[in-house]
A and B are shown apart, each in its own frame.
Chain A
Amino acid sequence: MDFVFTPEQERFRAEIREFLEKEIPPEFRRKPENNWIRGFCPELSRKLGQKGWIGLAWPKKYGGQEKSYMDRLVLTEELVCSGAPVFSHWFGDRQVGPAILAHGTEEQKQKFLTGITRGEIQFGVGMSEPEAGSDLASLQLRAIEEGDHFTINGQKVWTSGIHNAHYIYMVARTDPDTPKHRGISELVVDVNLPGITIRPLKDMTGEYDLNEVFFDNVKAPLDSLIGEKNHGWYQIAEQLDFERSGVERLMSNYPLLRDTVEYVRKAGLNKVDWIRRKLAQLEAEFEVGRLLVYRVAWMLSQGKVPNYEAAMAKGYGTAFEQRLSNAITQILGMYGQIADDSEDIPLIGRAVSAYLYCPAYTLQGGTSEILKGIVATRGLGLPTK
């Protein structure tokens, strides 16, 4: 047993920190929370790509470094905690790349993995539809093979960042006649194809990160297919585990916690008993969450496939993130409901932003209810019926 990072990993951490000190553009520094999903900055992604810090664990021939998942953990922890705006490569690095690595053709790997590691290709992920949220297998969007292409018709919804992406990594129904799990395939489709319309949606924070995507007789070449046709359902389970398992599920608001502690100290609120206790409790919960997240990375680094462990880490981490934002608005009192970002407002309205964003954590990437079901059935072997 050992709960430390190796000296090389600590050196790696220091190197990343030093790099980010210099390279994060100032406009992303003021409000560092959630920048892994809200901060779009292709320039930074390209620089990270040049350092070899995208696709860190992938084979060298596709631009990876063949490092371990523990190294990747160190990297992602620094990126998330520093508020680095890394959304433009996040989906590629986190889930699309590993999926293509597992199921793609050599050509697809050459093209997409290399593009991802260079920070040049941005992906959106098209899973949810209006009638298919948690019940993803009931999806209705169709991609019907016709000659040399798929004809795609239907709608995706809640598609993060697709307005900035080059490709949509999507699941579609390729065989409408077989039972629902069996007729599904994974496709990578160029979002600039004719017939694709993207409509931005405003969320309760007032931002437009999510979109609706409409497909009207879109013709996508046959090599859009990833893996085996009609086998998509069995391929994506793993992708979802990758989507769920990362540090961002615990640490999206870490900068806010750190800066609140600092603010409380400076404002002399550290003498107030209930504030001390609240922050101490959060710290304890954070440390527990960190180990749940580390466990998943450690398993991956051992060549094991996390199963319920990713679901547990995400469920715990996202609930923590909500308690954190809530507690900080309370510590700030009346300032906890002021959203002005002027310097004379404590924490420049970041607590309000965090509170408005935080319901999303327990919905995106599998709702907490679904995840609890996974822990209960896959993890504990409880019956499904």
Chain B
Amino acid sequence: MDFNLNEEQEMLRKMARDFLTTESPKSLVREMVEDDKGHSEILWQRMAELGWMGLAFPEEYGATGGSFLDLAVLLEEMGRACLPGPFFSSIVLGGMTLMEAGSEEQKQRFLPLLAEGKVILTLAILEEDGQYDPKSVKLTANAEGSDYVLHGTKMFVPDAAVADYIICVARTGGSGSSGITLFLVDAKSQGLSLSPFITLAGDKQYRITWDGVRVPGENILGEKDNGWIYIEKVLQKAVVGLCAMMVGGAQQTLEMTVDYAKERKQFGRPIGSFQIIQHHCTDMATDMDGARFITYQAAWKLSEGLPCIKDISIAKLWTGEAFRRMTSLAVQVHGTLGWMDDHDVPFYYKRAKAWELWLGGADFHQDVVATEMGL
């Protein structure tokens, strides 16, 4: 047993922390929340130069060939920094789908571009009911000659306005998990229209209407009618990746709060000397360590290729709630100062809620855990 990261991972963490502290300061995060697209091309290119986009893809595609655990370390730092932009959409959601489902030829063509940051991907799964359930996939793809024509609506698609390609989870037959096909769709295709949502955390999500979007059959990822098994795998990775981001956000939340409890004086003493504030901080620290260990256990198992469906869902349901509880306490310990828009605490308060709900909330993951328990 070893709870530590290895030396390279520690170096990666340090490098990422230093880089993001200077290149993705809160002023940029704030600017990107206000921005229509929420994407800084300069920052994106710099991250690409550092090799971050290709960190977890194999070397044969011009990438670094790191492990999923390495990627988790990087994502943790991104969560800590509230990094804006499409990294998660493009690399985790899009890139992992390409890796899982793409043909050798498709991988050869797209992964090097992805690793260089020259192509941005996103993944469109959810529809009106917002459920991660194959039965909820209703958008239709009908064959016309060697093409497919897509009709329907996708919801909550992240970063779609900056994506070059959207991977669309479409129905080609059946009604459950069979009959689902993945299409790699040029985002500039005719018949595809985006409308932005106003989101809680200021991240960019879109409703996409597909009104007869024509896609060549060669753009299918994986086999026709067999797409959902890939989505299940991608979702597992994405969930752990998101947990890692939450761990980073939670760590920053804890540190800020403990620092403030030491500094802020009321009644002639630091508020951190009051037992109730100590208890708040202790509860936060316990949530923090729990979230970190449960997340890294899942990340490590994934990295090692061990079975971990239950671990992943436990990680999400624990970490989502823990991060949310921590951010509520963070506001409380900061007093009204921590509720104000120009403070950093609200960034974490908002993301914690958004991420708790994204990729399956506690109810969804409790169900998975119960099933895995044989219930």
**What B residues does A363 contact at CB under 8 A?**
331-332, 335-336, 339
Interface residue? B293 (CB, 8 A): no
B336–A360 CB distance below 8 A:
yes
Interface residue? A349 (CB, 8 A): yes
Given A355-B353, A362-B332, A367-B332: A338 and B200 interface contact (C-beta under 8 Å) = yes
- CB contacts under 8 Å to B, within A298-330, are 322, 326, 329-330
What CA separation (Å) do A204 and B267 show in the bound complex? 27
User: Given A134, A203, A355, A362, which contacts B340 in the complex, CB threshold below 8 Å?
Assistant: A203
Interface size class of A (residues with CB under 8 A): 35 or more
- CB contacts under 8 Å to B, within A326-342, are 326, 329-330, 333-340
- CB contacts under 8 Å to A, within B112-145, are 126, 130-131
B332–A368 CB distance below 8 A:
yes
Total contacts A-B at CB 8 Å: 108
A194 → chain B closest CB, angstroms: 28
User: Given B199, B332, B335, B336, which contacts A337 in the complex, CB threshold below 8 Å?
Assistant: B199
A334–B357 CB distance below 8 A:
yes
B336–A210 CB distance below 8 A:
yes
B328 → chain A closest CB, angstroms: 6
**What B residues does A15 contact at CB under 8 A?**
none
B267–A135 CB distance below 8 A:
yes
Interface residue? A201 (CB, 8 A): yes
| Chain B 332-360 near chain A by CB (<8 Å), digits 1 or 0 | 10011011111000100110011011100
What CA separation (Å) do A339 and B200 show in the bound complex? 6
A204–B346 CB distance below 8 A:
yes
B276–A359 CB distance below 8 A:
no
**What A residues does B99 contact at CB under 8 A?**
none
A355–B200 CB distance below 8 A:
yes
Interface residue? B198 (CB, 8 A): yes
**What A residues does B48 contact at CB under 8 A?**
none
A339–B335 CB distance below 8 A:
no
What total of chain B residues lie within 8 Å of the partner, measured CB to CB? 41
| Chain A 155-167 near chain B by CB (<8 Å), digits 1 or 0 | 0011000000000
A138 → chain B closest CB, angstroms: 7
Interface residue? B309 (CB, 8 A): no
A329–B198 CB distance below 8 A:
no
A343 → chain B closest CB, angstroms: 14
A337–B198 CB distance below 8 A:
no
| Chain A 133-151 near chain B by CB (<8 Å), digits 1 or 0 | 1110010000000000000
User: Given A333, A337, A349, which contacts B201 in the complex, CB threshold below 8 Å?
Assistant: A337
Interface residue? B277 (CB, 8 A): yes
**What B residues does A372 contact at CB under 8 A?**
276
What CA separation (Å) do A360 and B339 show in the bound complex? 7
What CA separation (Å) do A308 and B316 show in the bound complex? 40
A359–B349 CB distance below 8 A:
yes
**What A residues does B346 contact at CB under 8 A?**
204
Interface residue? A266 (CB, 8 A): no
Given A201-B340, A204-B346, A359-B339: A334 and B353 interface contact (C-beta under 8 Å) = no
**What A residues does B266 contact at CB under 8 A?**
132-135, 138
Interface residue? B324 (CB, 8 A): yes
**What B residues does A135 contact at CB under 8 A?**
266-268
A379 → chain B closest CB, angstroms: 16
Interface residue? A356 (CB, 8 A): yes
What CA separation (Å) do A134 and B270 show in the bound complex? 12
Closest Cβ neighbor of A340 among chain B residues: B198
B199–A338 CB distance below 8 A:
yes
Given A135-B267, A329-B357, A335-B130: A202 and B342 interface contact (C-beta under 8 Å) = yes
Closest Cβ neighbor of B366 among chain A residues: A274
- CB contacts under 8 Å to B, within A347-385, are 349, 352, 355-356, 359-360, 362-364, 367-369, 372-373
**What A residues does B366 contact at CB under 8 A?**
274
What CA separation (Å) do A222 and B277 show in the bound complex? 41
B332–A134 CB distance below 8 A:
no
User: Given A340, A360, A367, which contacts B197 in the complex, CB threshold below 8 Å?
Assistant: A340
**What B residues does A356 contact at CB under 8 A?**
200, 350
**What B residues does A157 contact at CB under 8 A?**
336
What CA separation (Å) do A334 and B198 show in the bound complex? 12
- CB contacts under 8 Å to B, within A257-281, are 274
- CB contacts under 8 Å to A, within B134-170, are 155-156
Interface residue? A206 (CB, 8 A): yes
- CB contacts under 8 Å to A, within B246-284, are 265-268, 274, 276-277
Interface residue? B362 (CB, 8 A): yes
Q: Which 10 A-B pairs have the closest CB atoms?
A: A334-B130, A204-B346, A135-B266, A202-B341, A359-B331, A337-B200, A339-B198, A337-B354, A135-B267, A369-B276
10 further interface pairs, Cβ-Cβ under 8 Å (given A135-B268, A359-B332, A369-B277): A134-B267, A204-B349, A330-B357, A333-B361, A336-B353, A337-B199, A339-B198, A340-B198, A349-B198, A363-B335
| A-B pairs with beta carbons under 8 Å apart, 11 shown | A133-B266, A202-B340, A203-B339, A330-B361, A330-B362, A339-B199, A340-B198, A359-B349, A363-B339, A364-B336, A369-B277
